[in-house]
Amino acid sequence: DGMTERQFVRLMENQAKEEERLEKAKKRERKVSQKRLENIENTDTDVGGNRKRKRGTPSSNDAIPGEAFTDEEVTAEEVMANNEGLDIKTGEMSDELIKKLVNITKGIIYFKDKATKRRLAEIFLEKPCRQTYPDYYEVIKEPIGMNDILKKVRSKSYATVGEYAEDWQTLFNNARTYNEEGSWVVVDATALETELNRLLERNALHEKKAKPLRIKLSLKKIMSKGSSKGNAKSRKSSSPSGRKRKKVKVSNDEYGDRA
């Protein structure tokens, strides 16, 4: 293409250096994500209380923190009665509900593939590095990571469970938009989305549309009732044996002068 051999060699060297730089940046990003994940795992206290929990990570999907709700599950009726977990006095989400959302979020962060025991959330913990993936921010208008969601829950930034679920939906949609269909990133995002929905439903936190009131009326019965009433009225009005007319006695003396 009109380049000398020296220019071509220099171009190849520059490309190799750039690829090496990007690979190092990716490794640093993975290390940072792993460190943050370890910090989350080693958190000693839960939101809304001083009760300590054991260090360590769950070994399988059956022991993730998001599933440990045996005595703390809320029913759909309780959530609806309390305005989706809002504190009646302050208008904010209750500490109990926030604690559940924190545990659900951690359950997604710790979620492992049953076959490989690989954590699926590692790549989604933080927003992609802007320097490494500049095109990501051209394609994705609302970047968000799992740690962003966790911070918003802890800081009581969400007004409703619906807002919390919307941020998760944005995260999963971003993965599908930027990555090719069928890629491992999209597959992992779909698996995490399924697990999130399962945990929300398990704890009766899924937003449900109010069912319309159904009144079952038989058209035949309505028609028959209407026609029977109409026939009864017509029979009464036409029947000579119906209502007896009152006879009005007129005194000749009273109306004698109007003849």
**pLDDT tens readout for residues 53-80:** 333 334 333 333 433 333 344 444 443 4
Answer yes or no: are the C-beta atoms of 63 and 69 closer than 8 Å: no
Class of domain 94-203 (CATH, top level) = mainly alpha
Report d(CA 65, CA 57) in Å as an integer.
9
Long-range contacts of the stretch 105-108 (C-beta < 8 A, 24+): 105/66, 105/146, 105/149, 105/150, 105/153, 106/40, 106/64, 106/65, 106/66, 106/150, 107/64, 107/65, 107/66, 107/67, 107/195, 107/199, 108/66, 108/146, 108/192, 108/195, 108/196, 108/199
Distances (CA, A) of 11 to 40, 91, 110, 166: 44, 62, 44, 46
Distances (CA, A) of 164 to 43, 87, 205: 22, 17, 11
Report pLDDT for 19: 74
Report pLDDT for 230: 55
Answer yes or no: are the C-beta atoms of 55 and 42 closer than 8 Å: yes
For 42, residues 6+ apart whose C-beta sits below 8 A from its C-beta are 55
Report pLDDT for 133: 92
Report pLDDT for 16: 74
pLDDT < 70 regions, the chain: 1-11, 26, 28-91, 207-259
Whole-model pTM over 0.75: no
